[in-house]
Amino acid sequence: MTVATALTITVAGQSADAAQREGSAAAGECGVIFDDFHYSSHTDPNLQARGWNARDNAGGPGVPGASWRAANITFPTFDGDKVAQLAASTDGTSGGTVHAELRQTQQRVREGTYATRVRFSDVPVSGSDGDHINQTAFTITPLRYDYDPLYSELDFAEYLPNGGWGETGPVNFHTSWYTYRLEPWDAWRAYTAVHNSHAGWHDLVTQVADGHVRYYVDGVLKADHTVDDRGNPVTPRQDMTMNYNLWFIDLATHSGGTSTYQQQVDWAYYAKNEVVSPADAVARAAWYRAGGTSFVDTLVAGGTCQPTTPPTTPPTTPPTTPPTNPPTDCANAQAWNWGTVYLEGHHVKHVGKLWRARWWTQGSEPGLTAQWAEVGPCS
């Protein structure tokens, strides 16, 4: 259903001012996404159908050996409205540490305006305080290999209420990435650190246009990034996913028993290839909600603004050597492995299905990312 159709249903009988705002909300020819997170649970079929996934696979970031639990994504009623809620807990051990992530499953967003309303917290909902917890909202792509020049990531917020990464007090990072190397760590990015408490609800608006990434919090410009310290552009170079996660940087400051932290997300909005002021972005979200519209996705109607095809050229020297004659059937295909490099045409088994790599990939899970095409079920 297009925006125009959805709004025709919900705005009948509204004022001329509302009708004018309808045109504004749907005006960007490249389309919009709006989600008010009206879901019953992480297993709600609409959640996946609308492009979201509650993470449950292992890996970074955060404490090595910690787990990511899909059930830690819930959708309670908060202040009279449904929200997406992330929960993370730790008992001070890696095995007793659980993170949470709500993520989009397709890379569809790049330039334009992002807006989201997020509630950060300075204290846990239970247990002792002081952990190096990271509360986030961001867009990202897979890193194909060290210093991948197409890697793209925008951190609308990484809020550390108890410090971490060398900080000792509350700090919020706005970061625009060019690329990085994982081991040894080498980050190429521009970032701005804002040192004060961000507890409570905040409107995060990020504009990406004309070589700039501008980060606003509650209508106030906090950062304007163009290049990293090497002169590389930090605007995204390929389509990304929009995500939220809650995770522990380390366990160095934990004390006592188990501590549990929460983060809430009220809504998310994206206008593709359109620069929208912070006030107008928030107003558009409010207008959708006032009309009873909990979800809109018109990016597929963007004409020439359709998502670009990710590059198919692998690195000159991949970090690991894939098999030279990959199997093409379930009986002989190996199970997908997070750390293995797969080239275009390679087949793997994962969650009872056979998958074919569309291009070079490493660390991108079949069924959740565009790098893999489903071949069929394994009997």
- Rounded CA-CA distance 156/176 in Å is 9
pLDDT of residue 192 exceeding 70: yes
Residues 6+ apart with CB under 8 A from 376: 353, 354
Residue 3 has pLDDT above 90, yes or no: no
pLDDT in tens, 99-117: 999 999 999 999 999 999 9
Residues 83 and 213 in one domain: yes
Domain co-membership, 160 together with 220: yes
Task: DSSP letter for 301, please.
Answer: G
- Phi and psi dihedrals of 71, rounded to 5? -65, -10
What is the total count of domains within the chain?
Answer: 2
User: Would you say residue 316 has pLDDT above 60?
Assistant: no
Q: Tell me the C-alpha distance between 250 and 134, whole Å.
A: 10
Residue 314 pLDDT: 36
Alpha-carbon distance values, 209 to 213, 232, 329, 358 (Å): 7, 16, 45, 29
State residue 371's pLDDT score.
64
- Which residue, 258, 263, 241, is CA-closest to 98? 258
CATH of the domain at 164: 2.60.120.200
Residues 290 and 284: their CA atoms lie apart, in Å, by 10
Task: Look at residues 273, 305, 337 and tell me which one is the last residue of a structural domain.
Answer: 305
If asked whether residues 325 and 349 sit together in one domain, one would say: yes
* Cβ within 8 Å of residue 309, ≥6 positions away: none
> What is the DSSP-derived secondary structure letter of residue 48?
H
Q: Give the model's confidence band at 313: pLDDT under 50 very low, under 70 low, under 90 confident, else very high.
A: very low
Give residue 89's pLDDT band: very low, low, confident or very high (50, 70, 90).
very high
What pLDDT does 29 receive? 60
274 & 330 share domain: no
Q: Is the pLDDT of residue 365 over 90?
A: no
Q: 320 and 298, same structural domain?
A: no
Q: Single out the residue in 258, 287, 305 at which a domain terminates.
A: 305
Residue 10 has pLDDT above 60, yes or no: no
| pLDDT (0 to 100) of residue 329 | 80
| Pair 277, 293 in one domain | yes
Least confident residue range of 194-198, 289-293, 365-369? 365-369
Is the Cβ–Cβ distance between 268 and 35 less than 8 Å?
yes
Q: How does DSSP classify residue 362?
A: S
Asked whether 240 and 370 are in contact (CB, 8 A), the reply is no
263-300: per-residue pLDDT in tens? 999 999 999 999 999 999 999 999 999 999 999 999 86
Answer yes or no: do 362 and 320 share one domain: yes
- Full domain range(s) for residue 351: 312-379
Same domain, 148 and 66: yes
- CA 309 to CA 312: how far, in whole Å? 9
Same domain, 344 and 215: no
Q: Give tens-digit pLDDT for 145-177.
A: 999 999 999 999 999 999 999 999 999 999 999
Do 198 and 344 lie in one domain? The reply is no
pLDDT of res. 310: 30
Rounded CA gap, 164 and 193, in Å?
12
For the stretch 317-355, pLDDT in tens is: 333 444 444 455 888 898 988 767 777 788 999 888 998
369 falls in which pLDDT band (50, 70, 90)? low
Q: Between residues 227 and 11, which one has the greater pLDDT?
A: 227
> In 3-state terms, what secondary structure has residue 20?
helix
Q: From CA 23, how far away is CA 299, in angstroms rounded? A: 16
Average pLDDT over all residues of the chain? 86
Are 39 and 86 within one domain?
Answer: yes
Exposure letters 336-353 (e unless 16+ CB within 10 A, then b): beeebbbbeebbbbbeeb
The tokens describing 155, both together, are 């951190």
Q: How far apart are the first and last CA of the chain?
A: 36
Among 278, 305, 332, the domain-final residue is 305
Q: Do 286 and 319 fall within a single domain? A: no
CATH code of the domain in which 343 resides: 2.10.10.20
Check residues 303 and 137 and name the one with the higher pLDDT.
137
Neighbours of 68 (CB within 10 A): 21
Separation CA 121–CA 265 (nearest Å): 12
